[in-house]
Amino acid sequence: MSNFKASTQEQSQLLQAQLDDGFRRLRFDQPLESDFKAYQTHLIQRRVGYVSLFSIVLLTLYACVDFLFLPDRIWEFTVMVRATMIVPVIILAYAFFKQEPKPNTIINATFLCYMMMGIGVIAIIGGSQLGGYDIPYEGLYSVILFGFFLLGLPFKLILFSTWGMWWLFGCMELLVGHTENLLPELFFLASMCAIGTVGSYLHEHTLRSGYLKHRLVKLSQQQAVADKEAKTQFLAAAGHDLRQPINAISLISDALAQTLIHSDNNPQQQVMTERLTASVDMLNRLLDSLLEYSRLEMGEVEPYWEKVPLDTLTHEVVSAMTTQLEAAHIKVHLHVATQAHVKTDPLLFERILRNLISNVIQHAKASEIHISTAINNQTITLEIKDNGCGISKEHQEAIFDQYYQVTPNRERGMGLGLSIVQQLADILNIRLSVTSQLNEGTCFLLSVDCLEQDSLEQDHQEQKLLKQNIQASSH
């Protein structure tokens, strides 16, 4: 873990330093530059198929236009050139779909196809002029824009290809003797190339900046996950190591209390023993919460689904907590429907109920708890309502956060009880909500899908049949 953390910190520092220093020359320090090239190549490879298809359609469309509107001697030449331009595009698309070429191969092949498109357009313009038909030079605009916005090539290749096309076009015009409007044409093409050059530079600069920030975010997320796992493992290990000495202290405290009961020691010793016992109990509760929380965080809690009668489960939990409820002078009113059955893990569901009732005992300052059910269609809602001090609205959204307490008091826990309830509810697919008002109590609602009666009867019949088979086999 320490090696991973050091490696992550080094990478983060490298990325942040590169981001702070800037990259006006559009180049990172190694090995970051190689990683970015692979990322850029991946982006190009993702669009190759669509760009190739668009190129083929566009070239075919222009060939049809040539056939319809140009003289025979001209369109025969232009169509042949356009067919020649289609061939490398098809080969490029086929090769990329059939295999995984190297990053440099992808970039270079895409660049060569783009250059052949530009050379092909220049050849069509020059050949038509030699044949006595003047085709406008604006066709190069489409090729240049095509490279700027669709291919996503590196800035240096775009710079070389676009200005190379501009230079080839000027040379071709001089060779064919078409120089009457050459300067205005070169000027407009140069303007287009300049605008595209600036746009391409800004595009790659933005892409590099986004790449650095994306890497920083991913590293931060990985570090956060690693820190969380380390914390959880530490809690689990510490809880396990503390369990034995705490159990030993608890046994000694109980033995001491029994000794004082049968002796004539002074009351002060009895008070100190009671405080010791209470402190050990509190320490045990804190340790239990930490261990359960660590198991939940590590994903070690797996539910074992059963069909459970909700009324029986609720009565068992309340009966088990009678001593604590009586000590807090809290009276419980149970109104749970006997026909309410749910498919859940009884141990985890019991833990939820225990934590919610314990929360009332420790924090609500209540004298009564009403536990009832309401069935609506196939949803059953278990309501746990007290008449205590309530929770203000600004705290209600945060009470399920870990280590959060409305009124911090470590003697009453660490603020993990309701966080554990929320996590267990998520595991059991229980919809948990709370409503509360100051000085008017708090109501927790647990909504879960109930089982249909037909399903219960079928399950009962299966259990009855299984029991009969067991009895028959025993005889």
> What's the pLDDT score for residue 383?
92
> What's the pLDDT score for residue 415?
67
Per-position DSSP letters for 431-463, written without gaps between them? EEEEEE-TTS-EEEEEEEEBPPHHHHHHHHHHH
Reported as a single tens digit per residue, the pLDDT across 218-267 is: 888 888 777 777 776 776 676 667 767 777 777 777 777 777 666 666 67
Helix/strand/coil for 35: helix
Reported as a single tens digit per residue, the pLDDT across 72-124 is: 888 888 888 888 877 777 776 666 655 666 767 778 878 888 888 888 888 88
> What's the pLDDT score for residue 2?
45
- Asked if residues 140 and 118 have their Cβ atoms less than 8 Å apart, the reply is yes
> What's the pLDDT score for residue 113?
80
Which H or E element spans position 11? helix 2-21
Q: Return the structure tokens found at 60.
A: 């075919």
Domains and CATH numbers, the chain: 2-224 (no CATH), 306-458 (3.30.565.10)
Question: Model-level pTM greater than 0.85?
Answer: no
> What's the pLDDT score for residue 4?
47
Helix/strand/coil for 100: coil
The residues pairing with 375 across neighbouring beta strands, listed in sequence order, are 380
Tell me how many degrees the CA angle 95-101-104 measures, rounded to the nearest 5.
Answer: 120
The residues pairing with 383 across neighbouring beta strands, listed in sequence order, are 372, 445
User: Token match 């090539």: residue?
Assistant: 153
- Asked if residues 128 and 135 have their Cβ atoms less than 8 Å apart, the reply is yes
Which residues lie closer than 8 Å to 18 by C-beta, 6 or more apart? Answer: 28, 29, 32, 212
Whether residue 245 is preceded by a cis peptide bond, meaning omega within 30 degrees of 0, is no
Per-position DSSP letters for 309-335, written without gaps between them? EHHHHHHHHHHHTHHHHHHTT-EEEEE
C-alpha distances (whole Å) from 278 to each of 256, 283, 287 are: 13, 9, 14
* Residues of the chain under the 70 pLDDT cut: 1-6, 92-101, 103, 232, 235-236, 238-240, 243, 260-266, 278, 282, 285-295, 297-300, 403-404, 406-415, 451-475
